Amino acid sequence: MLKKPETLFVLGYMLLPLLALLSAIVGLTMILGSNKIAGAIVLVVVTQVFAFGAFFALRARKAAVAEESRRS
């Protein structure tokens, strides 16, 4: 299921960037509030995990599309 270009499209272009944006908002809100250390961890670690996940999903989608076109 994670090898389909359609699934990787949804993950790479929609879901993971949206989660990265939401976690960045949560991290900044935590920093502006009282939880500076936890907010920095959310901002640096969690946001980057979602951002790099989107990057790798897009690379896997590109490879899957190339593989599909080679088969055809």
Which residue ranges make up each domain of the chain?
5-71
Q: How high is the mean pLDDT in each 10-residue block of the chain (72 residues)?
A: 88 96 96 94 95 96 91 80
Taking the whole predicted model, whether its pTM rises above 0.75 is answered as yes
Q: Are 31 and 39 in contact (CB under 8 A)?
A: yes
* Residue 47 near residue 20, CB atoms below 8 Å: yes
**Residues 6+ positions from 10 with CB-CB distance below 8 Å:** none
For residue 38 the two structure tokens come to 């936890």
Q: What is the pLDDT of residue 32?
A: 96
